[in-house]
Amino acid sequence: MFTLSNRSASAVAMPAVRAARGKHCLSADALAPYSATSAKLRSARRLSTSAINRCASTATDVTASFQIELVPCLSDNYAYLLHEPRAGLTAIVDPSEAGPVLETLKQRGLTLDYILNTHHHWDHVGGNEELKQQTGASVVGPFADKERIPSLDIALADGETWKFGEQDVSIMDTPGHTRGHIAFYLPGAQAVFTGDTLFALGCGRLFEGTAKQMWKSLSQLAELPPETKVCLESTRFTSRKSQCGDMLVANYY
């Protein structure tokens, strides 16, 4: 359970459309050999901008016990600021740059304790070193990519559980976009942070992995409880419980 703090709906929805048309989107044809639902994959790419806006508007406040806030970075990336008030801990997920994160921390009166990285690409780890230097935060990332995550302190592998205050953080291997990609699943907060494995209109390009690996990764995400909020990093998150979330599950999995 958590409270979400949002910013600018229009500013968040459109980058997902651009990403789906550009470098981040894997074509349905690449996944066709691995599922009989390739036609659904193709139809998913034709989801309209209005569908993405419905996705963006599904977030609701649940409880103040755990807080998630979008932090816009670069031109079309979004980091997630996590705050666990009972333990007084704060983390940032996939900061591509330090400036917006430091400004948000200052505005909220928070101190950064952890930096969480789903994979090694610069637009997800670009803020690591400056943030660590400025705040002393520990960097948490995938064991399989431990040599490529800047300033890594805590390396976690598939199936491990890491404690963030009172929240359990389950590590899910989700290779495909990169060979060491992971997702952070917080069952208590009913949220999963998918990095570049999943986008609102598709999945990440296969820079290092295979279509078979990506399909397996997406299948794992599909097995999460339907109330799970999918925290995407180029648009606001959506819920698998929402109409748009159901469309994504039907079309991608």
Q: Determine contact, residues 124/96, Cβ cutoff 8 Å.
A: yes
- What pLDDT score does 25 carry? 42
CB-based burial of residue 105 (10 Å sphere; 0-12 exposed, 13-18 middle, 19+ buried)?
buried
pLDDT at residue 192 tops 90 = yes
Query: Rg for the chain (alpha carbons), in Å?
Result: 17
Q: What one-character DSSP code corresponds to residue 158? A: T
| Distance between CA atoms of residues 35 and 204, nearest Å | 17
Mean pLDDT on 201-209: 74
Task: Please tell me which residue, 159 or 8, carries the higher pLDDT value.
Answer: 159
* This prediction's pTM: 0.71
Give the rounded distance of the alpha carbon of 72 from its chain centre. 13
3-class secondary structure, 224:
coil
- What pLDDT score does 235 carry? 53
Q: Whats the size of the chain, residue-wise? A: 253
| CATH class for the region spanning 3-252 | alpha beta
Task: Please tell me which residue, 212 or 233, carries the higher pLDDT value.
Answer: 212
pLDDT band at 98 (very low <50, low <70, confident <90, very high): very high
pLDDT at residue 46 tops 60 = no
| Distance between CA atoms of residues 220 and 213, nearest Å | 11
Q: Where do the domains of the chain lie?
A: 3-252
